[in-house]
Structures are given as structure tokens and as C-alpha cells.
């Protein structure tokens, strides 16, 4: 053995020390004292900033005294499936209602979760078109997306539930103008021809766009506002007609009662104001929300212009179940087929 004993011993010693140190699982630093109520939130990534300020505000109220949060964020569908598969959650917040319905079917959430005046929805936004600073390609609305030479980035509706809001807004634009299903299909064919990338999630799409791909990104208003609040150099256009995005939240059946208190807080004036500050539109069912100025919006003093036409999934499109079957069914879904076709060109 040409390796001197001492060196070998040193190596073994280092290894042993490292191993010993590492063999103890880390424990979280946040207080585990008797006073605090740890609550677990499982949600989709987009409203994390909003959730965090709402949680902080809640902790200052009497109801919320001593609450602390363990959170998990990811893609809406993935998170919903995780909870169904055993991930512990007191409070869930997803991008679209079917992700909550899944948990109702599993018996984890009571089936009257959407019985209230807000129908289970806690955050609202609209679909917008994000463009490069200064809008060099002069994108004004949906029709511009079908023009040749416009590179589009949108999350993939096939692999991301929350990406479906975007495509449905585009579809409904044609229908609302009096077009038939065939007209809408023709329009979307042109749009998909222009698509340069179909990243797996909304945030990935934002990242791809920032990396230089495409001229326009179909995204959510709150996402655009939050990005601008964080210094990203983008502009966004609220089209004259667009789709209302409604994100649901629910408390699980055997959740800590404070989780329900948090949900009530979120649905209150103070709670909604927290989300407004992060770019979400206030819920119509909550009265008296003071919008104030919202940094990052196109016009901070009038951050949420009302589009001329605002579509909703339940109002104009017959609800998510019908939508998922008609547009996103694996074999016959209209959008599914269009996406596959676009690849062949």
C-alpha cells in the first residue's frame, strides 16, 4: 500500500465526521413551542407571494395568533394529486376547480366547499398578453397572435391544467365575436403555428420568455404584475376581451380549525387587500375592498381596468367538466388535436 497510513486514517476520520454530522436529520428552525399552531398549506406556485402576506396579516389578528405555516408549492395538478396521495394539508389553494374536486372525490374535502357566495373561489385574475418592454411588435389583442412573424410562448395545456386558462381565452375571443367553432379552430391553428415554446408551467413560460424566446407570452395579469414588482422588464396588454381566472381554495376535512379561520380571513376585506397588493383582482363577492395603488400594474392608480368583455368558464363555457371533455380530452379534445396537428406542419 503506497498510501501512507496517516493519510488513510485522516481520510477515514474526515469521512466519519462528515457522516456523523450528516446522519442527523435537520429539524426546522421555526418555533415549536406550545403556543404555536402549525398549519400546512399545499398550493400552486403563482399566489405564493399573496399567500405569504395574507398569512402574516392573519397572524396579527386575534384569530390568527400563533399560527405558523408549513408550505408546499408546485404545479396545480401535481399538488392536487400529491394531497390525494397522502401529502398532509390543512388548506389547499389550486389554479382551477377540478383540482379541488379531485380531493372531494377522495373524501378529503367536504362537498359543500363551494357552497358559499364566492363559490369556493379565493383569488381572481384575467388572462393577459405579456410583451417585451415597449411592445416592439405592437401587440394589441388576440387577433395579433395569428399574424405571421409573431412568436408566441404559452404554457402547455396538455401538461399543465393551469395553462388551460390561456388557450380558452383565445378560443372564446373568436366565439364571442360571433365566430363558429370552425372559425375558432382555424384561428387557433394559426396561433399554434406561431408558438415557439410550450413550457410545462406558467412560471417556466415566463422564464423561457425572459430567456429571449418569442415576442408575446400568454399569461395571467397577477403574474405580470408580480414580475414587474420584482424588476422584470416586461410590459403587458389587457385585451379588450379576455377570460376571468378564478382560483379555488378549500379546507380539508380533518384540518385544524385555524385553517378555516384563515380561509375566512382570505375572504374578508383585509384578506383580499393583501392579494390585491400582489396583483390579484378583488373578489366581487367581498364588499369594500380598497384597491389603492398597485405597484407594477400598467397604471398603478387604476390597476385593474375592466375589459369590454369578460368571459367566465361557468358562464360562457359550461363549466370545467364540459371544457375538459370538449377541449382537452386525450383523443378527441379540440385543443389536443390542434396541438398534435401543429407539430406536423
Partner 1 sequence: MTVDTTLAPGAVRKRRSRSATSLTRSSGLGLGIALTWFSLLVLIPLALVVIQSVDGGWATFRDTVTSPQTAAALRLTVTQAFVVTLVNVVMGTLIAWVLVRDQFPGKRLLEVIIDIPFALPTIVAGLVLLSLYGPQSPIGINVANTERSVFLALLFVTLPFVVRTVEPVLQELDLEVEEAAASLGASRFTTLRRILLPALAPAITAGAALSFARGISEYGSLVLLSGNLPMKTEVASVRIMSYIENGNAAAAASVATILLVVALAAIVVLQVLSSVVARRG
Partner 2 sequence: MASRVTQPTTTGTQIRRAIVVAYLVLLVAWPVSLVVLKTFEGGLTNLQTAFADPSVVFALQMTVYVAVWAVAINTVFGVGISLLLVRYDFPGRGVLSALIDLPLSVSPVVVGLALLLAYGGSEGMFGPTLESAGLQVAFAPAGMIMATAFVSLPLVIRELVPVLHEIGTEQEQAATSLGARPWQTFWRITLPSIRWALVYGVVLSLARSLGEFGAVKIVSGNVAEQTQTATLVVEQKYQDFEQGSAYATSFLLAAIAVAALVVVTVLRPKENLDGD
Q: What string marks each residue from 30 to 59 as x (binds partner 2 by CB under 8 A) or -?
A: x---------x-x--x--xx----------
196 interface partner picked from partner 1, partner 2, none, CB below 5 to 8 A per type: partner 1
Asked if 131 and 169 count as a contact pair (C-beta separation under 8 A), the reply is no
Q: Is 138 helix (H, G, I), strand (E, B) or coil?
A: coil
- Please state the φ and ψ torsions of residue 194, each to the nearest 5 degrees: -85, -10
C-alpha distances in angstroms, 328 versus 24, 35, 40, 74, 158? 47, 48, 32, 21, 7
CA 52/CA 48 separation, integer angstroms? 6
- Among the listed residues 5, 7, 60, 344, the single contact to partner 2 using CB under 8 A: 7
Single out the residue of 94, 100, 92, 99 nearest to residue 71, CA to CA.
92
CA 211/CA 11 separation, integer angstroms? 44
Nearer to partner 1, 12 or 340 (CB): 340
Q: What string marks each residue from 284 to 313 as x (binds partner 2 by CB under 8 A) or -?
A: ------------------------------
The label of the residue with cell 368558464 reads 313
Which of the residues 189 through 208 are near partner 1 (CB under 8 A)?
195-200, 204, 207-208
Neighbour tally for 43: CB within 10 Å: 24
- 14-22, 50-58, 157-165, 299-307 -> range binding partner 1 (CB under 8 A): 157-165
179 interface partner picked from partner 1, partner 2, none, CB below 5 to 8 A per type: none
- Among the listed residues 51, 55, 79, 156, the single contact to partner 1 using CB under 8 A: 156
282 interface partner picked from partner 2, partner 1, none, CB below 5 to 8 A per type: none
CA 3, distance to chain mean position in Å, is 57
Which of the residues 66 through 85 are near partner 2 (CB under 8 A)?
70-74, 78, 82, 84-85
Which of the residues 198 through 237 are near partner 2 (CB under 8 A)?
203, 207, 226-227, 230-232
Amino acid at each position: 500500500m503506497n498510501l501512507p497510513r496517516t493519510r488513510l486514517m485522516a481520510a477515514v476520520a474526515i469521512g466519519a465526521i462528515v457522516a456523523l454530522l450528516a446522519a442527523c436529520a435537520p429539524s426546522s428552525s421555526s418555533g415549536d413551542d406550545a403556543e404555536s399552531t402549525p398549519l400546512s398549506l399545499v398550493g400552486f406556485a403563482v399566489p405564493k407571494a399573496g399567500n405569504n402576506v395574507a398569512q402574516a396579516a392573519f397572524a396579527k389578528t386575534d384569530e390568527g395568533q400563533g399560527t405558523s405555516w408549513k408550505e408546499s408549492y408546485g404545479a396545480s395538478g401535481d399538488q392536487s394529486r400529491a394531497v390525494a396521495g397522502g401529502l398532509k394539508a390543512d388548506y389547499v389553494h389550486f389554479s382551477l376547480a377540478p383540482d379541488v374536486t379531485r380531493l372531494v372525490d377522495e373524501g378529503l374535502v367536504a362537498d359543500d366547499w363551494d357552497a358559499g357566495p364566492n363559490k369556493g373561489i379565493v383569488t381572481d385574475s384575467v388572462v393577459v398578453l405579456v410583451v417585451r418592454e415597449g411592445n416592439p411588435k405592437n401587440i394589441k389583442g388576440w387577433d395579433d397572435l395569428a399574424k405571421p412573424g409573431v412568436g408566441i410562448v404559452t404554457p402547455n395545456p396538455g401538461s399543465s391544467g393551469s395553462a388551460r386558462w390561456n388557450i380558452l381565452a383565445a378560443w372564446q375571443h373568436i366565439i364571442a365575436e360571433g365566430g363558429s367553432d370552425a372559425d375558432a379552430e382555424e384561428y387557433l391553428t394559426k396561433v399554434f403555428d406561431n408558438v415557439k415554446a410550450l413550457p410545462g408551467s406558467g412560471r417556466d413560460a415566463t422564464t423561457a420568455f425572459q430567456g429571449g424566446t418569442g415576442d408575446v407570452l400568454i399569461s395571467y395579469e397577477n403574474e405580470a404584475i408580480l414580475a414587474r414588482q420584482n424588476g422584470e422588464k416586461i410590459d403587458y396588454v389587457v385585451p379588450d376581451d379576455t377570460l376571468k381566472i378564478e382560483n379555488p381554495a378549500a379546507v380539508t376535512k380533518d384540518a385544524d380549525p385555524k385553517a378555516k379561520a384563515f380561509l375566512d380571513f382570505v375572504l374578508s376585506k383585509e384578506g383580499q387587500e393583501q392579494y390585491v397588493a400582489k396583483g390579484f383582482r378583488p373578489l366581487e363577492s367581498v364588499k369594500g375592498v380598497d384597491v389603492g395603488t398597485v405597484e407594477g400594474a400598467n397604471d398603478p392608480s387604476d390597476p385593474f381596468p375592466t375589459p369590454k368583455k369578460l368571459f367566465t368558464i361557468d358562464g360562457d363555457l359550461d363549466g370545467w367538466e364540459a371544457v375538459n371533455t370538449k377541449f382537452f380530452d386525450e383523443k378527441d379534445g379540440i385543443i389536443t388535436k390542434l396541438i398534435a396537428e401543429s407539430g406536423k406542419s
